[in-house]
């Protein structure tokens, strides 16, 4: 039996781009991508028999999808909706699941679980399976088990002003000034594994014993010369004003008397105590810029603490507190041999302008605005 001639196919540039994108998209179903290939080959002038051989399907299938495309365009390449069992639960049930998941959990529970939501709704006469709850939450993109930390800045203007002051120092260090970023790192654990660590071998990672023995903790205070990246670190027995003042006195003795010393530090108790403020007042060559609250990342010495943690502390083996101190000292010496200043790119003033553009409700009125309102 002779078949009617193949339906003529003429593709616009826009439709050709759409079909090519469908063929190349990893997310496109394979069946739909195959149908798009059939149409593209047909538009190139290939006969149905040649297309069937090329894509690996029957000739009737080629004729069917060519005709579907001629009649309905790109939507014709997709399967029509199929009839099936009607939904057992409607919008009311789905809204009930979401309402429960976004409310506070019952007393005694830290968060909602799928089982807990199903039980809670069952007590109120709405019998939903755990699978239905899971499907509803997935479709609504609600994850009561997920937690993201959030910090509310009580006074945004104070934050941006303090952050801007720190950034301006980093970007433009005053003349005849030693700019020092200083902070403490406390509670560093001296731990040794109960069995020796095994070195890595080809095809096998380094093996570290799970159990360890504690030997106490070590605390250090460290200061970085922002202009050079050089660091000085010292062990302290307690994180208090007396030890911090002793460290400042050491910086004072070992710094060229012709230089002023400007400290960048946080608002820790040892930094803002009455004794520390009195010592700083008695040594006028020292000046201080405090970082904003909850903004330790603005203190450049934190970059060095991060390097110390990655290269020495994490996965390290320390037989005693003195051993831990010795290895921190050795790392500091090695670090200073090749130390370079960090390239500071964060601009608090520019970031504040972008923040106000995104949140105009936080923009304070200017004098002109107040005059117009009056």
| Ordered mean pLDDT values, 10 residues apiece, the chain (374 residues) | 62 89 86 91 89 90 90 87 70 87 88 91 88 89 82 69 90 94 96 85 83 93 96 95 96 95 95 96 96 89 95 91 96 95 79 72 53 44
Nearest to 349 by CA among 166, 181, 175, 180: 166
Nearest to 265 by CA among 301, 227, 305: 301
Note whether 136 and 179 are same-domain residues. no
Which residue has tokens 């579907």? Answer: 68
Q: What pLDDT, on a 0 to 100 scale, did the predictor assign at position 370?
A: 40
Note whether 31 and 131 are same-domain residues. no
Residue 115 lies in a domain: yes
Note whether 220 and 255 are same-domain residues. yes
Q: What pLDDT, on a 0 to 100 scale, did the predictor assign at position 156?
A: 59
Domain count, the chain: 3
Domain encompassing residue 55: 13-77
pTM, rounded to two decimals: 0.64
Note whether 45 and 127 are same-domain residues. no
Residue 53 lies in a domain: yes
């Amino acid at each position: 039996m002779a078949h009617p001639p193949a339906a003529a196919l003429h593709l616009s540039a826009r439709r050709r781009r759409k079909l090519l994108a469908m063929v190349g998209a990893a997310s496109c179903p394979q069946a739909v991508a195959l149908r798009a290939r059939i149409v593209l080959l047909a538009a190139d002038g290939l006969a149905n028999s040649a297309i069937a051989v090329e894509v690996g399907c029957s000739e009737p299938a080629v004729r069917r999808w060519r005709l579907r495309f001629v009649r309905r365009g790109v939507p014709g390449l997709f399967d029509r909706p199929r009839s099936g069992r009607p939904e057992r639960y409607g919008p009311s049930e789905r809204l009930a699941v979401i309402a429960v998941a976004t409310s506070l959990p019952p007393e005694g529970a830290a968060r909602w679980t799928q089982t807990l939501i199903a039980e809670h709704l069952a007590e109120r006469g709405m019998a939903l399976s755990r699978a239905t709850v899971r499907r509803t939450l997935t479709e609504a993109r609600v994850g009561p088990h997920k937690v993201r930390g959030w910090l509310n800045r009580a006074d945004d203007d104070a934050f941006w002003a303090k952050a801007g002051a720190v950034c301006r120092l980093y970007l433009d260090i005053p003349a005849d000034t030693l700019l020092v970023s200083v902070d403490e790192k406390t509670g560093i654990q001296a731990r040794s594994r109960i069995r020796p660590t095994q070195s890595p071998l080809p095809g096998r990672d380094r093996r570290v014993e799970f159990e360890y023995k504690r030997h106490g903790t070590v605390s250090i205070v460290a200061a970085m010369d922002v202009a050079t990246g050089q660091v000085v670190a010292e062990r302290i027995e307690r994180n208090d004003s007396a030890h911090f003042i002793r460290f400042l006195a050491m910086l004072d003795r070992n710094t060229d008397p012709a230089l002023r010393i400007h400290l960048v530090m946080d608002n820790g108790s040892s930094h803002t105590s009455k004794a520390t403020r009195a010592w700083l007042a008695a040594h006028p060559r020292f000046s201080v810029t405090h970082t904003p609250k909850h903004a330790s990342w603005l203190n450049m010495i934190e970059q060095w603490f991060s390097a110390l943690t990655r290269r020495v502390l994490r996965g390290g083996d320390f037989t005693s507190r003195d051993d831990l101190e010795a290895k921190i000292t050795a790392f500091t010496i090695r670090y200073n041999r090749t130390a370079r200043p960090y390239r500071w790119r964060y601009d608090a003033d520019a970031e504040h302008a972008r923040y106000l553009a995104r949140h105009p409700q936080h923009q304070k009125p200017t004098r002109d605005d107040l005059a117009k309102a009056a």
